[in-house]
Amino acid sequence: MASPLNILFAVSEAVPYAKTGGLADVAFSLTHAIKEYGHEIRMILPKYGMIRDRQYTLRDVIRLRDLEVPLGDQKVLVNVKSAFYPGSKIQVYFVDYPPYFGRPGLYVDPKTGKDYEDNAERFALFCHTAFAVLERLHWYPDVIHCNDWQTALIPPLLKEVYGKEGPLAKTKTLLTVHNFAYQGVFPKEKFRYTGLPAHFAEEDGAAAYYGKISYLKAGLEYADVITTVSPTYARQAQEDPEIGAGMQEILRRRAQDFYGILNGVDYSTWDPSSDKEIPVNYTFRSIDRKMENKKFLLEFCNMPFEPEIPFVGTISRLVVQKGFDILLEALPVILEKDLRYIILGVGDKEIEKKLKSLQQRFPEKLFVHIGFDERLAHLIEAGCDLFLMPSRYEPCGLNQLYSLRYGTIPIVRGTGGLLDTVVDVDENPQKGTGFVFKKYDAKELVQTVERALKWYQDRASWRKLVVRAMKQDFSWKNSAKEYIRLYQQLAKMK
């Protein structure tokens, strides 16, 4: 192996500490995969209100106490705590600044459902603190791997402020975008918190964005390498203005430095053979035992156990991206059919309300659980027969990958990572692993559910389909290597 690299992984959520979506899963599993290949990777994360010192054995680090971190024209004192990931030697630094992070929500105030007013300040402070930590520790990584807008100020700050000269001058940045629609857009008045030179906010400046500023845009301009989380989404983000969401021109300009690398799955957490959250473990050799999980989940939903009736699940942030407009339109038709359906999600209040009222209309068929519930997510993967993910767009998507491994056949809209990971079984009977529809449309969604239900009736074929789905391998093995190759390429640059 080439010499081990030093990587700082900067991220705003990570399992098991704080999670709103797939980013948290990726932060955990990718860092562990890279560590497995023998590299030194450390993580930096905000210490939110739900991260308890005792639960995760967070320790004070004398050297990281009272860091003086710039915030606008002031300096504030920030403490950084540290912990090792349970079961591995990955070190995690927690940015402990209670006025900004000691809250119940990560980005959104759970009381109002709206973004926190001071997100610009919060994540500018987070980015600056990352540099304060490196300087205090005298640890100068080869690459800082940034994720999404929350850490996107790091690349420009490195080039324009912290790494202009001195020990950080050789450090490079890689920015992974998990969703181009979240751009860290703020009014211009907030620019002063970034600590970047004034030209960034001026007309045509790297952070200027339709009269406002965007952290993501500044990151895309300054990162040495940009990646996103599937090859198809990488292509769509350059070609399709809805998916590129205003960033497509930068991406086209930077096409030489822009890569789509498919996310992997942490099968030590998401595999029915060892999953600790589910009542009965099973493999593709013992699929019949999956039925016990179905029984358990139906009981949980107060529904009678009728083994032959297909059970459909959805686990999702309740946002437009995930296809809730067509799903809400299609549900009254779908729920007339002979099936059961469970939805787990939290998010947009309007969507929550509409789902709840559908549950009242179809109480025997639809169970809706509003909230974030890790255990129920595992139960749904294990207990359902089908998993529905009708995304409008999808950078990668993890739930369809989990579903494959649990033998819970995915029905997906063919976009982004969904297109890269699910093969339609009618189109390709030998290799098919699920059902894919192309047009973003409620009618097509209904027709595809009908197609799946028809397949389900043929028990022998269904069983084969389930076995094939369970045998798919979306582990990090290959994708982690692609990241490492990019790190190595960056480390060699002068």
Tell me the window of 190-198, 327-335, 360-368, 390-398 that interacts with ligand ADP (CB under 6 A): 390-398
Work out whether the CA dihedral 302, 384, 294, 275 comes out positive or negative.
negative
For ligand ADP, which is the closer residue by CB, 135 or 373? 373
**Whose Cβ is closer to ligand GLC: residue 359's or residue 421's?**
421
**Tokens matching residue 303:** 């529904």
21 binds ligand GLC (CB under 6 A): yes
Q: 99-121 burial string, b = 16+ CB within 10 Å, else e?
A: ebbebebbbeeeeeeeebeebbb
Q: Which is nearer to ligand GLC, 66 or 242 (CB)?
A: 242
d(CA 151, CA 215): 8
What is the number of helices (H) and of strands (E) in the chain?
A: 17, 21
The CB-of-470 to ligand GLC minimum distance in angstroms stands at 20
Task: Give CA–CA dist 7/86, Å, rounded.
Answer: 19
Least Å distance, CB 259 to ligand GLC, is 14
Q: Among residues 151, 179, 415, 448, which is the contact residue for ligand GLC, using CB under 6 A?
A: 179
Cα distance between the two ends of the chain: 21
Residue from the set 129, 171, 227, 399 that interacts with ligand ADP by CB under 6 A: 399
Contact between residue 273 and residue 284 where contact means Cβ atoms under 8 Å apart: no
- Residue ranges of alpha helices (H) inside 172-323 are 215-222, 231-239, 241-244, 248-253, 290-300
Gap between the Cα atoms of 8 and 438, Å rounded: 39
CB 383 within 8 A of CB 216: no
Q: Pick the binder of ligand ADP from 40, 53, 373, 482 (CB under 6 A).
A: 373
Choose the one of ligand GLC, ligand ADP, none that binds residue 34, judging by a C-beta under 5 to 8 angstroms depending on kind. Answer: none
Distance CA 9, CA 151 (A): 10
421 interacts with ligand ADP by CB under 6 A: no
d(CA 257, CA 214): 20
For residue 390, which phi and psi values (nearest 5 degrees)? -90, 45
390 binds, among ligand GLC, ligand ADP, none (CB under 5 to 8 A by kind): none
Task: Indicate the residue type of 145.
Answer: H
One-letter amino acid at 259 equals Y
In the list 34, 344, 466, 490, the residue contacting ligand ADP (rule: CB under 6 A) is 344
* Residue 344 contact among ligand ADP, ligand GLC, none, beta carbon within 5 to 8 Å by kind: ligand ADP
Q: Pick the binder of ligand ADP from 374, 427, 458, 473 (CB under 6 A).
A: 374
Identity of the residue, 82 or 479, whose beta carbon is nearer to ligand GLC in the bound complex: 479
Among 9, 10, 17, 21, binds ligand ADP (CB under 6 A): 21
SS3 state at 239: helix
Residue 161 DSSP class: I
| Interaction of residue 345 with ligand ADP, rule CB under 6 A | yes
Site string for ligand GLC, 194-233 (x = CB under 6 A): -----------------------------------x----
Nearer Cβ to ligand ADP, position 235 or 317? 317
40 binds, among ligand GLC, ligand ADP, none (CB under 5 to 8 A by kind): none
C-alpha torsion sign, points 150, 106, 25, 350? negative
The H-assigned helical ranges of 37-118 are: 98-101
Which among ligand GLC, ligand ADP, none contacts residue 362 (Cβ within 5 to 8 A by kind)?
none
SS3 373: coil
Would you tell me the crossing angle of helices 324-334 and 442-457 to the nearest 10 degrees? 50
Interaction mask 378-417, ligand GLC, x per CB under 6 A? ----------------xxxxx------------------x
Site string for ligand ADP, 459-478 (x = CB under 6 A): --------------------
Q: Which is nearer to ligand ADP, 25 or 385 (CB)?
A: 25
Asked if residues 143 and 487 have their Cβ atoms less than 8 Å apart, the reply is: yes
Minimum separation from the CB atom of position 492 to ligand GLC (A):
27
Among 192, 372, 481, 489, interactor with ligand ADP by CB under 6 A: 372
Which two structure tokens, joined as six digits, stand for 304?
A: 């009678």
Residues that bind ligand ADP (CB under 6 A): 21-23, 25, 315-317, 344-346, 372-374, 377, 396-399
Site for ligand GLC, rule CB under 6 A: 21-23, 26, 178-179, 229, 263, 394-398, 417
